[in-house]
Structure 1
Amino acid sequence: MKIRYAKECEIKDIKEIWNYCFDDGEKFVEYYFKNKYRKQNTVVVDEGEEIVSSLQLNQYKLRLNNKIYDTSYVVGVSTFPQVRGRGYMKSIMKFTLKELYKKNQLVSILMPIDYRLYRKYGYENCYDQLEYIIDIEDLRRFKIDGRMYKANEFNIENLVEISKKFLEDTNGNVERDEKYYLNLIKEIKSEDGHIYIHENNGYQGYIIYFLNGENMFVREIYYKNIDSLKSMLKFIYNHNTQCNKVTISAPINDKIRFILDNPKTCDIKIKPFMMGRIVNLKGYLETLEIDSKSELYTNVLVQDEFINENNGVFKISLKNNKLKVQKCEEKHDVQFNINTITQLAFSYIDINEALLLNDTTISKDALELFKIIFNKKNNYINEYI
Structure 2
Amino acid sequence: MEIRFARECEKDNIMEIWDYCFNDGPKFTDYYFNNKYKNYNTIVVEEEAEIVSSLQLNQYRIQLNNQIYNTSYVVGVSTLPEARGRGYMKYMMEFMLNELYKKNQLISILMPIDYRLYRKYGYEHCYDQIEYEIDIEDLSGFKSTGSLKRAKLNHIKDMLEIENAYLDNLNGRVIRDEDYYENLFKDVESEEGNIYIHVNGSSDGYIIYFINGESIFVRELYYKNLNALKGMLRFLYNHNTQCKKVNIMSPVDDKIRFILSNPRNVSMKLKPFMMGRIINFKKYLESLNIASNKKSSLVISVKDDYIKENNKIFKINLENNKLSLESGNFEYDVEFNINTISQLAFSYINGREAYLLNELEENKRVIEFLDLIFTKKENYINEYV
- Residue type matched to 1:89 in 2? M
- What does residue range 111-122 of structure 1 map to in structure 2 within 5 Å? 111-122=111-122
Name the CA distance, whole Å, in 1 between partners of 2:258 and 2:144: 18
Alignment partner of 2:100: what SS? helix
Unaligned regions of 5+ residues in structure 1, if any? none
CA–CA separation in structure 1 for the residues paired with 2:64 and 2:367 = 22
Tell me whether 353-362 or 37-46 shows the greater mean CA deviation: 353-362
- Whether the aligned pair in 2 keeps the contact of 1:197 and 1:203 (CA below 8 Å) is yes
Counterparts of 1:217 and 1:362, CA distance in 2 = 44
In 2, Cα distance between equivalents of 1:171 and 1:70: 15
The size of the alignment, in residue pairs, is: 385
**Letter paired with 2:304:** D
What is the Cα deviation at residue 89 of structure 1?
A: 0.3
| Map of 1:103 onto structure 2 | 103
The Cα of 1:201 is off from its aligned counterpart by: 1.6
Letter paired with 1:171: N
Is the Cα contact below 8 Å between 1:334 and 1:361 reproduced in 2? no
What's the counterpart of residue 152 of structure 1?
152
Deviations, residues 68-103 of structure 1 (Å, cap 9, x unaligned): 000000000000011111100000000000000000
Aligned match of 1:373: 373
Matched ranges for 1:196-235 at <5 A: 196-235=196-235
The residue type equivalent to 1:172 in the other structure is G
1:362 CA displacement: 4.9
SS of the residue 1:309 aligns to: coil
Cα distance in 2 for partners of 1:293, 1:2 equals 50
Contact 1:162 1:223 (8 Å CA) reproduced = yes
Question: How far is 1:199 from its partner?
Answer: 0.1
| Contact 2:18-2:76 within 8 A present in 1 as well | yes
Counterpart check, 1:360 vs 2:360: yes
Instruction: Say if 2:352 and 2:362, in contact at 8 Å, map to a contact too.
Output: no
Give the aligned partner of residue 48 of structure 1: 48
Unaligned 5+ runs, structure 2: none
The farther-off stretch of 354-363 and 223-232 is 354-363
User: Aligned partners of 2:243 and 2:348: how far apart in 1?
Assistant: 35
Q: TM-score, normalised by structure 1?
A: 0.99
1:149: how far off?
Answer: 0.6
Deviations 1:336-380 (A, max 9, x none): 100000000000011111111111135443222111101111100
2:169 paired residue number = 169
Q: Deviations over 1:214-246 (max 9, x none)?
A: 000000000001111010000000000110000
Answer yes or no: is the 8 Å Cα contact 2:129–2:251 preserved in 1. yes
Report the Cα offset of residue 3 of structure 1: 0.1
Is 1:71 paired with 2:86?
no
2:302 alignment counterpart: 302
Does structure 1 conserve the Cα–Cα contact (< 8 Å) formed by 2:127 and 2:274? yes
Q: Would you say the 8 A contact 2:123–2:277 is kept in 1? A: yes
Whole-Å Cα distance in 1 between the matches of residues 377 and 364 of structure 2?
23
3-state DSSP of counterpart to 1:117: helix
> SS of the counterpart of 2:287?
coil
Partner Cα distance (2:334, 2:261) in 1: 48
SS, match of residue 341 in structure 2: helix
Q: Write the distance in 1 (CA, Å) between the matches of 2:362 and 2:309.
A: 24
Q: Are 1:110 and 1:274, in contact at CA under 8 Å, matched by a contact in 2?
A: yes
Measured after TM superposition, the shift of residue 312 of structure 1 is: 1.6
SS of alignment partner, residue 161 of structure 2: helix
Matched, 1:86 2:56: no
Counterpart-to-counterpart distance in 2, 1:87 and 1:173? 33
Is the Cα contact below 8 Å between 2:111 and 2:274 reproduced in 1?
yes
RMSD between aligned alpha carbons? 0.7
TM-superposed deviation, 1:169: 1.2
1:144 deviation in Å? 3.3
> What is the alpha-carbon distance in structure 1 between the residues aligned to residue 207 and residue 326 of structure 2?
47
What secondary structure is seen at the aligned counterpart in 2 of 1:208?
strand
Q: For the residues of structure 2 that align with 1:61 and 1:264, how far apart are their CA atoms? A: 39
Which residue of the partner structure matches residue 30 of structure 2?
A: 30
In 2: Cα distance, 1:241 partner to 1:346 partner: 43
* Aligned mates of 1:326, 1:196 — CA distance in 2: 52
| Seq. identity, % | 61
- Equivalent AA in structure 2 for residue 69 of structure 1: Y
Aligned equivalent of 1:195: 195
How many angstroms does 1:326 deviate by? 1.6
